[in-house]
Amino acid sequence: MTGCGEWLMVLLVILLLFGIPRLPQIGESLGRAVKNYRRASRGLDEVVVKKRDLPEAEGRDATKEPGDDR
């Protein structure tokens, strides 16, 4: 794991590279990226649950109608 000193060093390097005026823009971009990642992850979870709940997952043939004995 990273210690407090390492985080301070990373922040110092970011300050030197981008400057203080750009930090709010960078923070906003990171926040948007995390939000989009969570939204996509949640959407993927919903797709997996829907796929799991399909009739095929229970061993039934989804193309057959109930009572069709072909």
Close Cβ partners of 54 (under 8 Å, ≥ 6 residues apart)? 62
Q: Is residue 63 a part of any domain in this protein?
A: no
Rounded to two decimals, the pTM is 0.51
Rounded Cα distance, 17 and 10, in Å: 11
> For residue 45, what are the domain limits?
20-54
Any domain includes 49: yes
* C-alpha–C-alpha distance, residues 22 and 12, integer Å: 14
**Domain membership flag for residue 44:** yes
pLDDT in tens, the chain (70 residues): 668 999 899 989 988 998 989 989 988 999 999 999 999 888 888 888 888 887 664 555 555 555 655 5
Residue 45 belongs to some domain of the structure? yes
Domain count, the chain: 1
User: Does residue 67 lie in a domain region?
Assistant: no
The answer as to whether 7 is a domain residue is: no
Tell me, yes or no, whether 62 lies in a domain. Answer: no
